Amino acid sequence: MPDLAPGLIYLPSILDRDQQTHLVEELREIVKAAPLFTPHMPKTGKPFSVRMTNCGSLGWVSDRLGGYRYQPQHPVTGADWPAIPPSLIALWRELTNYPHPPEACLINYYAPGARMGLHQDRDEQALDAPVLSLSLGDSALFRYGGNQRNDRTKSIRLHSGDAVVIGRDSRLIFHGIERLLPGTSTLLADGGRINLTLRRVTLPA
Ligand code: MD6
Ligand code: FE
């Protein structure tokens, strides 16, 4: 499978159905400890249509006053985030070759109709590390462009069990989720989609 662009690697069907089912079970436990919350855009306070939570030593959050940031605690409960499941740490090691473990795993839940506008992932200090994305549940149209918001974009379908690695020359490309394709997966009983993104946040000492 050729890279979609330099540093932008699409890895279809990286997780088989049993691995996906097991991962969803682990995520259900994580969400019990760290409930999904609705982030808000900096300044405008507009709510995201996606709900989120995290696992790892750091989690990504956003609200009107504090903006985009990583923090060690859940913004609603104040509790530390649950640990990243060992299977995901192992997958990071296999797929990224990055010599340090991920610190954050952002868990995005898309109910049917939710989307994610074009954005860059640039809140990490460790921009030398890639971001590893895993998709579960309904397929989605993933749109990606270049380093400028106005660069021409392409879109691909991401299916349940697919991975994407964004690194090197593509680390700061604009990307987003245009829409879900409802009814394309039976993994999640109520439909919708989960996207996990594993990230290294701080520069290793
Ligand atoms: C999503 N993904 O697939 C949104 N970010 O729901 C992302 O925003 C993303 O897929 C950084 C790296 C890979 C991604
Ligand atoms: Fe992103």
Q: Count CB-CB contacts under 10 A for residue 96.
A: 19
Determine which residue's CA is closest to atom 8 belonging to ligand 1. 176
174 CA distance to ligand 2 middle (Å): 8
User: Is 205 part of a structural domain of the chain?
Assistant: no
CB atoms within 10 A of CB 189: 8
Atom of ligand 1 nearest to the CA of 131: 12
Tell me, yes or no, whether 3 lies in a domain: no
Q: Which domain holds residue 37?
A: 8-199
Q: What is the CATH number of the domain that holds 77?
A: 2.60.120.590
In whole angstroms, what is the distance from residue 124 CA to residue 73 CA?
A: 17
pTM across the whole model: 0.97
* Nearest Cα residue to atom 6 of ligand 1: 195
Are 163 and 96 a contacting pair, CB within 8 Å?
Answer: no
- Structural domains of the chain, count: 1
Residue 164 lies inside a defined structural domain of this protein: yes
* Neighbouring-strand partners of residue 114: none
Mean pLDDT by 10 residues, the chain (205 residues): 90 98 98 98 97 98 97 98 98 97 98 97 98 98 98 98 98 98 97 98 94
Which of 106, 193, 197, 200 to mutate to test ligand 1, by most ligand atoms within 8 A of the CB atom? 197
d(CA 109, CA 92): 21
**Length of the chain, in residues:** 205
Does the residue 1 lie in any domain? no
